[in-house]
Amino acid sequence: MEQGILLFAHGARDPQWALPFEAVAARLRVQAPDTPVELAFLEFMTPDLLEAGERLAAAGCRHVNVVPLFLGAGGHVRKDLPVLLQQLSALHPDVSWMLNPAVGETAEVVEAMAASALRMSAAR
């Protein structure tokens, strides 16, 4: 496997919180069955970013797209995530870890949220 996808979410104490993120990972695995996909959490949940990155490296990935599943690029995305990616790079120097924008800042997600809000408000 050359390419991999590493989804990164905040994490929470409530296991139910992770369900939408697990659904995203599951859909990606269906849509791109030949691409390893891992979901990692910053805190409270496992795996963490280092463990999930290790799985992708062990699967033979040499180029990993890191996708922050955050609505915006706050401190965790701008500060914490780059430090963790430096640690991954040190552990796996043969792997290229490409940090993408927070998914909530992409045009597709903004459009989907607006359409969903409009649909919900029209239903009332």
| pLDDT tens readout for residues 20-78 | 999 999 999 999 999 999 999 999 999 999 999 999 999 999 999 999 999 877 666 77
State residue 73 phi and psi, 5-degree precision. -95, 75
Pick the CATH number of 3-122 from 3.40.640.10, 3.40.50.1370, 3.40.50.1400, 3.40.190.10: 3.40.50.1400
| H-run or E-run covering 98 | strand 96-99
Taking the CA atoms of 5, 9, 15 and 16 in sequence, report the sign of the dihedral they define.
negative
Domain ranges of the chain: 3-122
Q: Which residues, in sequence order, are CB contacts of 92 under 8 Å at separation 6+?
A: 53, 54, 57
Q: How far is CA 117 from CA 62, 105, 107, 111, in A?
A: 39, 16, 15, 10
What percent of the chain lies above the pLDDT cut of 90? 89
What are residue 63's DSSP bridge partners?
3, 96
User: From residue 30, how far is each of 54, 75, 106 by CA, in Å?
Assistant: 22, 31, 22
